[in-house]
């Protein structure tokens, strides 16, 4: 660690800082099979008056969790006996409110993305050359855990501080957003790995999607969430259209999408309001660039789909009835003012497909059975 604790504290300011107050007497569990790394992290945290416990592997970590829960858990991904992914799966299942920060020694985005989808709040990459990165990550996780209404936020919401919209996103960006910008290949890999399961089911309805694209270029990003009341929310964004900020913009969109789902807002203006929030966040980014996407939700109780196109041509088909959506304004160009189209969702086959997206091909299908 090239940046010392003293240097990290100088970054935070002189005297007793809010970070020191936040970390004082907090219980931190480090699960890592590297004793040297554990001792280094312990030394740093103890200077902040943290109570630190250590586990040598995932199995030992689970046994320690049964006796007492820490305020934050630090977990390596590559461990013997029970690896990091298996450990996080078990920990999230048993202790869903426990803030987990994963540590990757390889920078493998496939593993990182998996644990982020499982519910981990942050990730760090070894070697941790700057102590302040670790301290900021811990502080952020602790703040999140103290706000019960924010505990179930997606990791991306934490990175962008979507609960503090009056502050500039540029001031609030987490360290690894800069890391992903500096490592475009890593950022692209993370976007690919965050794509959701290709099939889902609710009652007698089934969702499936097909997304064909090259792994060499910036991908189309699709995500969805099916709520228990039958509403299905989804979006698709062309990350290539965002230029050098494509990865960061896609993660920001994910953050606001997940926050809207968590709040479960319901009105005919839901999509417009969500897009407006996304545009507000994007407007605070340096060199923000217009991006193309499609946003929508399906209300099965009304047998209707509501779709807003922001720069992408799309086609909605329902039992051989074909409706064409034109591109309209892109994100950051008042896309929230674009028309929200309402189409029927009928028993049988329904689909949304996209045109003019380069060499990529996308089709979302919603069928009853």
Residue pair 345/367 in contact (Cβ under 8 Å)? The answer is no
pLDDT of residue 331: 95
pLDDT of residue 107: 65
Round to whole Å and give the CA distance between 134 and 128: 8
Q: Report the candidate in 123, 60, 55, 116 with the shortest Cα–Cα distance to residue 89.
A: 116
The alpha carbons of the chain give a radius of gyration, in whole angstroms, of 22
How far CA 172 is from CA of 62, 178, 329, in Å, comes to 33, 11, 28
pLDDT of residue 113: 86
pLDDT of residue 167: 45
How far CA 80 is from CA of 60, 83, 87, 105, 285, in Å, comes to 11, 6, 11, 14, 41
Helix H or strand E segment including 362: strand 361-368
261-282 as b/e: b if 16+ CB within 10 A: beeeeeeeebbbebbbbbbebb
Q: What are the structural domains, with CATH classification, of the chain? A: 5-152 (3.40.50.2300), 199-368 (3.60.40.10)
Q: Taking the model in full, what pTM does it have?
A: 0.76
> Mean pLDDT for each 10-residue chunk of the chain (369 residues)?
52 64 95 95 96 96 96 93 92 90 82 86 85 87 68 63 47 60 80 90 95 86 90 93 86 81 60 87 78 94 94 93 93 95 94 79 94
Q: What is the CB-side half-sphere exposure of residue 219 using CA atoms within 13 A?
A: 25
Round to whole Å and give the CA distance between 361 and 369: 26
pLDDT of residue 165: 43
> What are 229-273's pLDDT values in tens digits?
888 999 999 998 988 888 888 888 888 787 777 665 555 458 898
pLDDT of residue 142: 86
Which residues, 6 or more positions from 214, have their beta carbon under 8 angstroms from its beta carbon?
359, 360
């Amino acid at each position: 660690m090239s940046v010392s604790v003293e240097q990290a504290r100088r970054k935070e300011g002189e005297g007793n800082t809010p970070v020191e107050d936040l970390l004082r007497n907090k219980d931190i569990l480090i699960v890592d099979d590297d004793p040297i790394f554990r001792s280094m992290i312990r030394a740093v945290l103890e200077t902040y008056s943290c109570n630190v416990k250590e586990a040598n592997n995932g199995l030992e970590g689970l046994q320690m969790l049964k006796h007492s829960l820490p305020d934050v858990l630090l977990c390596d991904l590559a461990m013997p006996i029970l690896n990091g992914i298996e450990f996080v799966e078990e920990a999230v299942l048993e202790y869903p409110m426990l803030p987990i920060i994963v540590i990757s020694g390889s920078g493998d985005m496939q593993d990182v993305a998996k644990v982020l989808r499982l519910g981990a709040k942050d990730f760090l990459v070894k070697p941790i050359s700057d102590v302040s990165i670790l301290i900021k990550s811990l502080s952020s996780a602790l703040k999140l855990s103290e706000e019960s209404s924010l505990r179930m936020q997606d990791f991306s919401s934490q990175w962008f501080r979507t609960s503090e919209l009056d502050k500039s996103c540029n001031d609030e960006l987490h360290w690894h957003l800069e890391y992903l910008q500096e490592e475009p290949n890593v950022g692209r890999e993370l976007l690919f790995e965050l794509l959701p399961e290709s099939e889902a089911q609710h009652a007698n309805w089934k969702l499936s999607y097909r997304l064909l694209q090259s792994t060499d270029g910036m991908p189309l990003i699709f995500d969805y969430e099916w709520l228990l009341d039958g509403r299905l929310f989804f979006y698709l964004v062309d990350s290539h259209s965002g230029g050098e900020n494509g990865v960061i913009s896609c993660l920001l969109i994910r953050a606001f999408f997940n926050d809207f789902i968590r709040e479960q807002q319901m009105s005919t203006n839901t999509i417009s309001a969500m897009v407006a929030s996304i545009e507000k966040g994007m407007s605070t980014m340096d060199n923000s660039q217009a991006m193309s996407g499609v946003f929508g939700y399906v209300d099965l109780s009304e047998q209707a789909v509501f779709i807003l196109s922001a720069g992408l041509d799309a086609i909605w088909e329902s039992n051989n009835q074909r409706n064409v959506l034109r591109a309209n304004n892109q994100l950051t160009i008042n896309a929230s003012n674009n028309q929200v189209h309402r189409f029927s969702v009928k028993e049988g086959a329904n689909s949304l497909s996209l045109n003019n997206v380069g060499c990529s091909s996308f089709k979302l299908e919603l069928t009853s059975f």
